[in-house]
Chains A and B, each alone.
Chain A
Amino acid sequence: MNRQLFQQRVIERAVNASLEEAETYSEFGETLSIKVYDGEVETYSLADEGGVSLRAVVDGKMGYAYTEKLEERSIDFLMSTVRQNAQVIDEPVTVSIFGGSEHYEKADFYESALHEVEVDSLIDRLIELERYVYSLDDRIVRVNQCGAQIFEAERSLTNTNGLALHERSNGFYVYVSVLVSNGEEKKTGYAMRLTRDIHSIDWNELAREAVREATESLGSRSIPSKKYKVLLRNDAATSLFKVFLSALSAEEVVRGTSRLKDQVGETIASPALTMIDDPSHAPTLSETTFDAEGVATKRQTIIERGQLKTFFHNRETAKALHVETTGHAYKPSYKGKLMVAPHHLIIASGDVTREECIERLTDGVYITRLAGLHSGANATTGDFSVAASGFYVENGTIAFPLRQMTIAGNFFDSLHDIEAIATDRYDGFGRLSMPSVLLRQLAVTIEQ
């Protein structure tokens, strides 16, 4: 049975089984992953996965079930389990299944040319990339990783209110990681590109970037540990900010675990910070025209010149906090429950270039990479203590790379310490794109 037909059939049977309200939500994806090592294909995987979930209301309560096998017998399974599951739930539903927004953006996030890419030519291109990397510098010990992925995804939602939504997207991602040594120290460098237009990639520049990242870190020295003015490079800043985005989730606010609770309308950051959510222009390829409960998505301002304008809501959290939904319902997978997440956050570019920011550092630190974020940061309190790599900047010029550092502080306090935002926005993975950030001060501990 094909996917569309299956979902329609599920709704038909839900209606026949007198389920008060029912909704199917599905996600399907296909990913081709290739890694090369030493001139040969090291791993190759072609994976297609996905499924259809059903949620339905019975006696005022919501049950969930899902299936990856699209056949009639699965529908029997969905009908019987969703009913039983609704019955054992204790909390009645506070919001019904959605009837539909007035208007949905017409957008296409699928590039057909990507679908036509030949596997053989991609393998050859990767082997050539690895070879070119090796040719760039004698200090290269090993190309640790060199690979690419082509991914396609399709999602769809249909419900007993007649709502039927569908969209698809695809993308390409290539990465290379290299290990270098000067005989005393070993350092790694990494570079990646994420795009829908494979022809826009400058493969040689990708190689040079990875090697540069690694070789520039050789010859590290130390400086005293104290508070410094810090420039967080765009990619490092993105990795830090992502950890604390949950504070903007209305779910966390309702649970009492967000430090930004009751702060809508208040100043939570320096006036240099403006953050918008734009679901239809996501350089990280997470665009969408409808959220996980079918509400049309729209561009909106989250933080304006330091002032918090809204949290991310779904219809349930919106009802609990007496506001309109912002269209941020999210399911991490079709198997799970409805939660909340941003679509694509963009921190607006400022008016100083990265170079100008560096010039502002007389005795400062330029941080290019962070690690240990999953264990060294507390999203609820805002406290963080994470490993960092970077450079010492003296009188506006990068002087030398620094030994292993730790930066520590409180994220919500640091938001007020933002002196400037640069113009160099970074588009990596995840739902956030942001430029480099100049922080007035941050506690930096350096290996002596």
Chain B
Amino acid sequence: MIHERMIERVLDAALSTGGDFAEIFVEDRFSNRYELLTSAIETAVSGRDFGIGIRIFSGVRSIYTYTTSFEENALIALAQRAAHALRRGESIIQSRPMIRETFPKQMIEKWPNDVEAIAKTDVLRQMDDYARAYDPRIEQVRVRYFDETQHVLIANSDGRLVEDTRVHSRINIVPTAEENGVIQTGHYGPGGHAGFEWIEQLDHRYYAEEASRIAVTMLHADECPSGKFPVIIDNEFGGVIFHEACGHGLEATAVAKGNSVFAGRVGEKVASDLVTYIDDGTMPNAWGSLNVDDEGEPTRKNVLIEKGRLKGFLVDRLNGRRMNAAPTGSSRRQSYQFAPTSRMTNTYIANGETDPADMIASTEYGIYAKYMGGGSVNPATGDYNFAVMEGYIVKDGKIGRPIKGATLIGNGAETLYNVDRVGNNLAHGAGMCGSVSGSIPVNVGQPMIRVSEMTVGGTKEGNE
């Protein structure tokens, strides 16, 4: 993408005032977005994003700068200005000779830019048909298609030189159901680190109908009671709770500055024995997977919590310096406009032993959260709140009436201890995670899980 000798000159300019590490990140990304609403394609945009980011370290201080220019003189000038702002000294090291690295790669068959727009929008129309045909109360459907092909080149003063291509494809469907003035929506958004072949082989009918089913079911939902109850969270996107409540606390981004409840606790019991929590960036064609992270480090399977004990964290280079820990292939950024930091990839709670049907049958009274909506977390304290998109009362071991307006409130660290059943039906769901280094694709996953007690915020007073 850019010539090796030019890279060396830019890195040396970055190190000219005494910095001890410099890195260049080149990104050339092609993307396509289509949107269908009211059964008509309304939006069709294709883009090429391009830019170069330069990062320089001096101990644990760092500076980040970026540009859309690809002229050598401009890059060297940019590196010099950044170097000058970081420290005003003399050069102490020079960049080492580049060694191109190889690594295992995700399989891509149909590159999105080789596929005609019409093939993509045909999928949207098909899903719109399925969603509307499911029930006459579906009055509006929005379907979005997104793909991107991101070419990156990452080089640093330690001699690393890595080139990689990442491909993402995703469909998002949001049907709206209406009856007697009540409006509810459903949502499903499968995505993969994969080409158009992945979109083609998706079960379009299943996702469209399921999203419509959620919307229609919630039309007749009761107000949710408030209180403390056992909560059963279904598999797949249910994993979002653990992502927000603990996942971020396991990133060096928080741990290095002491802003995490897990800081300094490796080896300690931080969760119930049933909990094994893993972040794996190598899962084939999974939405959050990467061949190498955004510092060029090959991704791997990182076991964070094993049978309740804290094993380790997700570490990036800079925070690794603060923590005296090695990088774990977890450094990510939204684009060249952000400096990278430790983030998640595909994070999940590993399979347990309980049959999901038994989990429901053994619950006297509680809430069953079948699909989760959005939420937020206070990363420093671990306090979180999440909306339940589709929920039910569980009474005497049976799934009862649907409930709406349920919010699950809790503290990440406490919730981990209160997991008392882990199912055997692990599945993963795609989402976008936002943090200091921008918005990135991640998977969240889990089997069906029961938490013995959670605070449920509802709009109805008391039990029942």
Contact = CB atoms under 8 A, between A and B. Distances in A.
| A is bound by B | yes
A379 interface: no
9 contacts: A44-B82, A46-B82, A48-B69, A49-B51, A65-B45, A68-B47, A87-B118, A91-B42, A337-B43
Interface in B66-106: 66-70, 78, 81-82, 84-86
Interface of B: 28, 30, 32, 34, 40-51, 63-70, 78, 81-82, 84-86, 116-118, 120-121, 337
B44 A88 contact: yes
Contacts of A67: 47-48, 50
B68 A48 contact: yes
A119 B69 CA distance: 21
Given A85-B117, A87-B118, A88-B118, A47 B65 contact: yes
B47 A48 contact: no
A336 B47 CA distance: 10
A330 interface: no
A310 interface: no
Nearest to A335: B47
A64 B45 contact: yes
Given A46-B65, A91-B40, A84 B118 contact: yes
Contacts of A28: 68
A63 interface: yes
Nearest to B88: A120
Interface in A93-115: none
Given A84-B44, A87-B117, A336-B45, 4 more contacts: A46-B82, A49-B337, A64-B44, A84-B117
A86 B66 contact: no
Contacts of B66: 45-49
Given A46-B65, A49-B68, A69 B337 contact: no
A34 B65 CA distance: 12
A86 B337 contact: no
Interface stretch (A74-82, A138-146, A158-166, A267-275): A74-82
Contacts of B116: 84
Given A44-B86, A84-B117, A88-B121, A65 B47 contact: yes
Most chain-A Cβ atoms within 10 A of its Cβ — which of B28, B48, B81? B48
A66 B69 contact: no
Given A85-B117, A88-B121, A44 B47 contact: no
Contacts of A41: 85-86
Most chain-A Cβ atoms within 10 A of its Cβ — which of B34, B43, B63, B117? B117
B42 A74 contact: no
User: What's the interface size class on A, roughly?
Assistant: 35 or more
Give 5 nearest A-B pairs by CB, closest first: A81-B46, A85-B44, A69-B50, A90-B40, A84-B117
A350 interface: no
B70 A337 contact: no
A89 interface: yes
A47 B337 CA distance: 8
A77 B67 contact: no
Given A69-B28, A81-B46, A123-B85, A88 B117 contact: yes
Given A41-B85, A44-B82, A123-B85, A89 B44 contact: yes
A368 to B, nearest CB: 26
A218 B120 CA distance: 59
Given A46-B81, A47-B65, A68-B51, A77 B70 contact: no
A66 B48 contact: yes
Interface in A41-64: 41, 43-51, 63-64
Contact of A46 (B51, B70, B78): B78
B42 A90 contact: yes
Nearest to A68: B50
Given A64-B44, A86-B44, A88-B118, A45 B63 contact: yes
Contacts of A335: 45, 47
B67 A47 contact: yes
Nearest to B38: A90
A48 to B, nearest CB: 5
Most chain-A Cβ atoms within 10 A of its Cβ — which of B41, B81, B85? B85
A51 B50 CA distance: 9
B117 A90 contact: no
A68 B118 CA distance: 25
B42 A66 contact: no
Nearest to A73: B48
Contacts of B47: 51, 65-68, 335
Contacts of A87: 117-118
Nearest to A41: B85
A238 B314 CA distance: 42
